[in-house]
Amino acid sequence: MTASQPRSPRLTVRHFLAMGMALVIGVLTLPLPAHAQQSAQPPADNDALPVEDVQTFAEVFERIKRTYVDEVDDTTLMRNAIRGMLGELDPHSAYLDKDDFEALRETTEGEFSGVGIEVGMQEGQLTIIAPLDDTPAARAGLQAQDRILRIDDTPTESMSLQEAVDMMRGDEGEDIRLTIMREGEDAPRNVTLTRETIQTESVKHELLAPGYGYLRISQFQSRTGEQARDAIASLRDEGELKGLILDLRNNPGGVLDSAVDVADLFLDSGLIVYTEGRLPDSDMRFSASTQTSAPDVPMVVLINGGSASAAEIVAGALQDQQRAVLMGTESFGKGSVQQVLPLNNGDGLKLTTALYYTPDGRSIQAQGIEPDVDVVRGRLEVAEGSGLNIREADLENHLRNINGDTERTKREASLAESDYQLGEALNLLRALNVLPRAQGSN
């Protein structure tokens, strides 16, 4: 394993046992990615692996090879060892083979084949972080915090996160059965989903009422900031924008730079987020620029238990800078940053390298963001037979209002019934606009 050798010799168990220190030196001198080489520090004396630990590893390796019920090749054993090393660190660090690399690229660019859920590990159990909009998972009613007990007939109890993701992905048109356990329910349920090509548009927008815009970001992809900017411009083309609802519910996160770009659309100065890690290049600060699409439009940001990572960066920045009112329920609490580091064999390492902090210095890791106004998910329903669900606009041949049709009024009533949190956000925005006028009249 020296530079003078034309190729690396095959290491046997005997080499492991007899050359413990040589192995340690070889591991520590593997080339790092270019950006990591600039900041990597020479290993301290206490960073050297104890020879006894290396020998124990080699002994276990040998016994598995000699006595395991099925024959296992060296490459499989080594990769399993690497995956085990990473799996015990945190739920987000992982070894990525070439297929995993491709899957990660597809996710960030917005197209892949699967069922449309972001998953993670909570207390050792595979858990849904968020269903993606307009996907089989969302249409089947899967929710954040649902626990996945089985994938088809395979229990997930001892399954790694990457194994679970690989099992849920597949060819378009194939069925997959998930066994789901939801908090508050007595028994698990089986949900059958049909895989499809997921082409996620991360940004949607519409006017909920004259002057009141709705901006939905389902995840943070590489072009989300640009798409959000265009959406705000489109809303403003329809007239004065009196208020805006930014919906980050069930947004599992994504690209850090895109989260910064979105927050920058609403902030014209100040810190958005900063990160801190062990290496100097992990310490970064992101601040708002003066070029801002909507610096003074009243805002309500909707969050819930499925709002994670990049979504929490945006929500935390707008909350700390008192730029928006946060409404909903406590967010997921993923406050760590992962880097994908290429390896010499073409595979990669997704490694947690830093924690991020809101402008006020809050770490969200395992804590989440508390909304300013708690509004739980609900549905507004009128008691049957009460008569309260009939209004003048519902009567046949009613006279129309000369100031506008009734379709928008009906639509807003329907909104309050189907999405209680969104309806309350619209009410709050209207109140924020009324308050300055009321104060000015005193």
What is 81-123 written as a DSSP string?
Answer: HHHHHHHTT-TT-EEE-HHHHHHHHHHHHTEEEE--EEEEEET
How would residue 46 be classed by pLDDT, with cut points 50, 70 and 90? low
Question: Which pLDDT does position 392 carry in this prediction?
Answer: 56
pLDDT value at 225 more than 90: yes
pLDDT, one tens digit per residue, over 307-366 is: 999 999 999 999 999 999 999 999 999 999 988 888 888 888 999 999 999 999 999 998
Q: In the predicted model, what is the mean pLDDT of residues 37-50?
A: 54
In angstroms, rounded to a whole number, what is the distance separating the alpha carbons of residues 274 and 335?
A: 11
Residue 402 has pLDDT above 50, yes or no: yes
- Tell me the average pLDDT of the chain: 81
Taking the C-alpha atoms of residue 426 and residue 232, their distance in angstroms, rounded to an integer, is 17
Q: Could you report the per-residue pLDDT of 403-435, keeping only the tens digit for each?
A: 555 555 555 655 656 788 999 999 999 998 876
Q: What is the DSSP secondary-structure string of 205-222?
A: EEEEETTEEEEEE-SB-T
Pairing mode of beta strands 284-287, 271-277:
antiparallel
Q: Hey, what's the torsion of the CAs at 385, 391, 393, 396, to 10 degrees? A: 40
Residue 54 contacts residue 16 (beta carbons within 8 Å):
yes
* Higher per-residue confidence, 77 vs 132: 77
Nearest to 275 by CA among 365, 383, 394, 171: 365
Alpha-carbon gap, residue 66 to 64, rounded angstroms: 6
Separation CA 93–CA 168 (nearest Å) = 19
pLDDT digits (tens, 9 = 90+) for 64-92: 999 999 999 999 999 999 989 998 899 88
Contact criterion met (CB below 8 Å) for 314 and 364: no
Q: Is the pLDDT of residue 105 over 90?
A: no
CA 394/CA 358 separation, integer angstroms: 48
Task: Give 340-394 as a 3 state SS string.
Answer: EEECCCCCEEEEEEEEEECCCCCECCCCCCCCCEECCCCCCCCCCCCCCCCCHHH
Q: Are the CB atoms for 308 and 401 separated by under 8 Å?
A: no
CA distances from 304 to 250, 326, 332 (A): 7, 10, 7
Strand partners, 351: 339
CA dihedral (241, 245, 248, 250) positive or negative: negative
Q: 108: alpha, beta or left, given left = phi > 0 and alpha = psi -120 to 50?
A: alpha
Higher pLDDT, residue 215 or 22 = 215
d(CA 93, CA 312): 19
Read off the pLDDT of each residue in 239-254 and give the average, rounded to a whole number.
94
Task: Return the pLDDT at 133.
Answer: 85
pLDDT digits (tens, 9 = 90+) for 134-171: 899 999 999 989 999 999 999 999 888 878 988 998 88
Structural domains in the chain, CATH included, are: 13-72 (no CATH), 111-199 (2.30.42.10), 203-374 (3.90.226.10)
Residue pair 61/13 in contact (Cβ under 8 Å)? The answer is yes
Residues whose CB falls within 8 Å of the CB of residue 63, separated by 6 or more in sequence, listed in order: none
Distance CA 81, CA 75 (A): 10
Residue 107, pLDDT score: 64
Of 434, 1, 426, 441, the C-alpha closest to 214 is 426
**Taking Cα atoms as reference points, which of 107, 99, 180 lies closest to residue 348?**
99
Q: Give helix 407-418 / helix 420-440 axis angle, nearest 10°.
A: 120
Catalytic residues: 309, 320, 334
**What mean pLDDT is predicted for residues 294-301?**
93
**Of 228 and 438, the one with more pLDDT:** 228
Percent of the chain with pLDDT over 70: 77
Residue 14 predicted with pLDDT over 70: no
